[in-house]
Chains A and B, each alone.
Chain A
Amino acid sequence: MIHFKVNGNAQTFDGDPEMPLLWYLRDLLGLTGTKFGCGMALCGACTVLQNGKAIRSCTKQMGTVAGLEITTIEAISAHGPHAVQKAWADVNVPQCGYCQPGQIMQAVSLLSSTPKPSDDDIDSAMAGNICRCGTYQRIRAAIKEAAKERA
């Protein structure tokens, strides 16, 4: 039996240890804000926080989550919209929106480690998150705005 936390709540798991965290969150817990895009950690749609740092939940096997604290998009706005979510709305970032929870989680992680990111910081942190609608220009602007907001 594996013990860990999701969004602050204690959870246990004794199923297939190869099951990716992504499908545990989506199918077993019903937390569908974390999206499936590629299954190979290539697109970032499934990004969640592991002890505050962005990881790809599609390649994180349940056999390796013991003791971890996982945070999903559903939890970051428990006390009103997060600064990143506010900036996303101000800049009107989303088009279809499917990749945006992953983009937002990646940006939250970036800003917690690098409160004032440069363009290069943003590029290297966000390059793993694909947006097919092509909202990158607005994502960059929103990250800068959120950084200003948090300063």
Chain B
Amino acid sequence: MISIEKITIENVSRRNFLQGLFSAGAFVLSVGKAPLLARAARNGAPVGATPTGASPSIDTTAFHPGVFVGIETDGTVYIVAHRTEMGNGVRTSLPRILADELDADWNRVKVIQGDGDERYGSQDTDGSHSVREFFDTLREAGATARLMLVRAAAQQWGIPESQCVADPVHVVSDKSSARKLGYGELAALAAKLPVPKKEELKLKSPQEWRYIGKPAPGADVSDICSGKPLFGMDVRVDGMLYAAIAHPPVLGGKVKSLDDSATLRVTGVKKTIPIDPFTTPHAFQPLGGVAVIADNTWAAFKGRNQLKIEWDNGSHAVYTSSEYKKQLQETARQPGKVIHTVGDPDAEFAKGGKIVEAEYFAPHLAHASMEPPVAVADVQGDTVTVWSPTQNPVGVQEEVAKALGLKKENVTCHVTFLGGGFGRKSKPDYAVEAAVLSKKTGKPVKVIWSREDDIKFDYFHSVAALYLKAALDETGKPKAWLQRSVFPPIGSTFDKDAVYSGAGEMSQGWNVSPFDIPNFRSENGQATAHIRIGWLRSVANIYHAFAVQSFANELAYAANRDPCDYLLTLIGSGHMVDAGAQGPPGTAEKYPYDTARLRRVAELVAEKANWGKRTFGKGSGMGIAVHRSFLTYVATVVEVEVDNAGAIRIPHVYTAVDTGIVANPEMVRQQFEGAAVFGTSIARTGEITATNGSIDQSNFFDYPVARMNDAPYQVDVHIVESTAPPAGVGEPGVPPFVPALCNAVFAATGKRVRELPLARNGFS
């Protein structure tokens, strides 16, 4: 088991709290990953139905926490997606796992979005672990419901259970005759049965899977394509006010003086409200500043532009990223904190011989999800309802409760669709802003961040300076390898004194090497953060893979070897890497780091790309990189054409992925196609800089992201068939893409990119 939490399944068909949600005969199983001890606290409270005041066009129907599957008497199967949909496909992939074991007809399944509630187990949709963590739970839930339906049929017919089978879908058949009973017909009877013990369940063999491993399109495609109000930005609540906030330009800044007279003259502006500065550490608290409250979004934005605020910028006004870069690079040249050592690299380096060194640099990045942060909150006495695009609904409950001095249980968080998340929407500061303003106005308040707010006041992906050194033997293979990474850590968001990396960032492609090298050491140098640092899709893997895979490519050329052959030599024939914990207890045992799987994806991608069998003209070439992240093995080949002016075209990308068992290959392909585009944005133009503590960029003209004509023309995704446990797919495509592209640029032009983005190197 990956998790120490217990899967608890209860028959809740007769519970009062379901009244109004299901008809009297419905069969409902509650499935939680934590013990259901907390249930009593909420029992009896009316839960569900449309929240007061919500516009009827928004489907905000709440479902009782812990309810994973319900079968109506008409045969409709309701399955809760308790994790966040942001393009990751969880509203399709997760319910289909349960529907498979249930032998439900997917066309008769309705997916319901779960509210925030810790009894579901983790809802924090980041770290590429939705399928990984809930695969077993969902299968068990589906198999439990199926067995209860089978038992209901056996009882109805008065025949042994062994004579009944759920076949083909949505019905139970009597093996000895042609009679059948539909799931809807069996619901009322199944609802009266006790929940079978886990030992009684018979999970399907992979050969019997109906949906798992089979491609399926997104469950919500037609709603999305017809412009239905699905997103946080679309939430409208009766009587709601709109707010735009002038945030302090420097982290920790405070309002010194405010003149809002021009603002208050703007048509539609109601008032201005100061928001308290945070107490250090900032964590997920609002940044402070001044809110403009208006009766529409435009008036709020226009009014905000008219504010005259003098700021007390505070201590972080020292932050100028061009100066900071020099400090990071200097730190990276000095010995750092030792993270992991194999053999004795210093002894090997001391012997001399061929030594290669290189320094790499990767700047801050902003998430820039298409939907900027937004939330609606309605505070009524000591209860709060929040509608928010959030990756972290329990975090919303906790942070709102903390800010308003309430109990977490008093905060309901309805999770909308997310217009992209990429890690930004795990941080609920914007939902707290809405709650604080609702309390102060006595009305529901929608806080809307503009694109400028989003870019300037992000939790930024960290800037990193990296130093690598290798001693090569006579064949050009490393005898010793040193890698040192320096960046302001994510921990600084939660502890102002944190200057060293946490275990998480070090486990992201840095603490250990996938390569077969006898003497190895990884190090980390200290750095102080001056802006909010947070996780962004793939996190530290981005700069770590960029450095390691670029350096491996440099060593290949230094050894006069083909880069792909050399990479395979570095990996070797395959060995187990002791990578430490890698996640919750049990993860390392369930997901051993096996470089034979890394080698296999490298070989597969080389074969698919016809590596070594193609000839390239001037300005064209291919690059390769491999990386294991989020327990998934990926190899990527990027093909480029670079013209004389340095303009890069990416005609083809080939990716091979081994992520263990795949829930929905269609979603896996989408994630890896998307990762190539996300990686293109990072590699070509991704760069956030700061001057005197303020972020220099503000919108897509100075923080460009990949457009159709910049993006790879064709991305082919090759999925390795595997019986290993499912790992994760949302993030692992990004890290190898960036160095594969830079390595391709080297192959095409002879120009080595050691500093991201490519735009800093004369390319566009």
Structural contact, B673 and A138, CB atoms closer than 8 A: yes
Task: Select B217's contact among A19, A85, A92, A131, beta carbons within 8 Å.
Answer: A92
Contact flags A119-146 to B (C-beta < 8 A → 1, else 0): 0001110111111111111111000000
Structural contact, A136 and B708, CB atoms closer than 8 A: yes
Q: A27-B242, A42-B700, A129-B708 are in contact. Are A137 and B451 (CB under 8 A)?
A: no
Most B CB within 10 A of own CB, among A26, A40, A100, A136: A136
Complex: A45 Cα to B699 Cα, angstroms: 14
Q: A100-B224, A132-B705, A134-B711 are in contact. Are A94 and B218 (CB under 8 A)?
A: yes
Structural contact, B268 and A134, CB atoms closer than 8 A: no
A74 proximity list for chain B (CB < 8 A) = 226-227
Structural contact, B227 and A137, CB atoms closer than 8 A: no
Question: Taking CB as reference atom, which chain B residue is nearest A77?
Answer: B226
Verify if A30 is at the interface (C-beta below 8 Å from B): yes
Structural contact, B708 and A88, CB atoms closer than 8 A: no
Complex: A124 Cα to B301 Cα, angstroms: 31
Verify if A4 is at the interface (C-beta below 8 Å from B): no
A99 proximity list for chain B (CB < 8 A) = 370, 419
CB distance from A133 to the nearest CB of B (A): 4
Structural contact, A133 and B268, CB atoms closer than 8 A: no
Structural contact, B370 and A43, CB atoms closer than 8 A: yes
Question: Taking CB as reference atom, which chain B residue is nearest A91?
Answer: B217
A18 proximity list for chain B (CB < 8 A) = 298, 302
Interface residues of B in 660-677 (CB under 8 A from A): 666, 670, 673-677
Q: A27-B298, A34-B227, A38-B699 are in contact. Are A134 and B221 (CB under 8 A)?
A: no
Interface residues of B in 7-57 (CB under 8 A from A): 55, 57
Interface residues of B in 219-243 (CB under 8 A from A): 220-222, 224-231, 233-234, 236, 242
Task: Select A35's contact among B298, B299, B419, beta carbons within 8 Å.
Answer: B419
Complex: A132 Cα to B229 Cα, angstroms: 20
Q: A30-B236, A89-B225 are in contact. Are A42 and B708 (CB under 8 A)?
A: no
Complex: A77 Cα to B417 Cα, angstroms: 22
Contact flags B44-80 to A (C-beta < 8 A → 1, else 0): 0000000000010100000000000000000000000
Verify if A67 is at the interface (C-beta below 8 Å from B): no
Most B CB within 10 A of own CB, among A20, A31, A33, A92: A92
Structural contact, B370 and A89, CB atoms closer than 8 A: no
Structural contact, A40 and B699, CB atoms closer than 8 A: yes
A101 proximity list for chain B (CB < 8 A) = 224-225, 227
B678 proximity list for chain A (CB < 8 A) = 132-134
Q: A92-B217, A97-B230, A98-B371 are in contact. Are A27 and B296 (CB under 8 A)?
A: yes
Verify if A32 is at the interface (C-beta below 8 Å from B): yes
Most A CB within 10 A of own CB, among B226, B228, B234, B417: B226
Task: Select B297's contact among A23, A97, A98, A126, beta carbons within 8 Å.
Answer: A23
CB distance from A81 to the nearest CB of B (A): 7
Complex: A34 Cα to B419 Cα, angstroms: 13
A95 proximity list for chain B (CB < 8 A) = 87-89, 218, 670, 674
Structural contact, B418 and A96, CB atoms closer than 8 A: yes
A16 proximity list for chain B (CB < 8 A) = 267-268, 298-299, 302
A27 proximity list for chain B (CB < 8 A) = 242, 296-298
Verify if B339 is at the interface (C-beta below 8 Å from A): no
Complex: A92 Cα to B89 Cα, angstroms: 11
Complex: A18 Cα to B677 Cα, angstroms: 35
Query: B108-116, B318-326, B540-548, B712-720: which lies at the A interface?
Result: B712-720
Verify if A117 is at the interface (C-beta below 8 Å from B): no
Q: A23-B298, A43-B700, A130-B700 are in contact. Are A89 and B233 (CB under 8 A)?
A: no
Verify if B368 is at the interface (C-beta below 8 Å from A): yes
Most A CB within 10 A of own CB, among B57, B370, B420, B674: B370
Q: A16-B267, A26-B297 are in contact. Are A123 and B700 (CB under 8 A)?
A: no
Complex: A65 Cα to B558 Cα, angstroms: 64
Q: A32-B236, A40-B451 are in contact. Are A134 and B677 (CB under 8 A)?
A: yes
B236 proximity list for chain A (CB < 8 A) = 30, 32
CB distance from B221 to the nearest CB of A (A): 5
Structural contact, B231 and A98, CB atoms closer than 8 A: yes
B227 proximity list for chain A (CB < 8 A) = 31-34, 72-74, 101
B268 proximity list for chain A (CB < 8 A) = 15-16
Structural contact, A131 and B715, CB atoms closer than 8 A: no
Task: Select A38's contact among B220, B222, B231, B700, beta carbons within 8 Å.
Answer: B700
Verify if A39 is at the interface (C-beta below 8 Å from B): yes
Verify if B709 is at the interface (C-beta below 8 Å from A): yes
Structural contact, B708 and A92, CB atoms closer than 8 A: no
Structural contact, A15 and B677, CB atoms closer than 8 A: no
Verify if A28 is at the interface (C-beta below 8 Å from B): yes
Structural contact, A132 and B370, CB atoms closer than 8 A: yes
CB distance from A100 to the nearest CB of B (A): 6
CB distance from B331 to the nearest CB of A (A): 32
CB distance from B678 to the nearest CB of A (A): 6
Verify if A104 is at the interface (C-beta below 8 Å from B): yes
Interface residues of B in 675-707 (CB under 8 A from A): 675-678, 680-681, 699-701, 705-707
Verify if B369 is at the interface (C-beta below 8 Å from A): yes
Verify if B422 is at the interface (C-beta below 8 Å from A): yes
CB distance from A55 to the nearest CB of B (A): 16
CB distance from A41 to the nearest CB of B (A): 10
Structural contact, A96 and B297, CB atoms closer than 8 A: no
Verify if A63 is at the interface (C-beta below 8 Å from B): no
Top 8 A-B pairs, shortest CB-CB distance:
A33-B227, A134-B677, A98-B419, A95-B87, A96-B87, A73-B227, A97-B224, A134-B674
Instruction: Please list 8 pairs of residues, one from A and one from B, whose beta carbons are closer than 8 Å in the complex, sorted by A's number.
Output: A26-B297, A30-B55, A33-B226, A37-B370, A97-B221, A97-B419, A131-B677, A132-B420
Known: A27-B297, A32-B227. 10 other contacts (CB 8 A): A36-B371, A74-B226, A85-B226, A89-B225, A92-B666, A96-B417, A97-B87, A130-B700, A130-B707, A134-B706
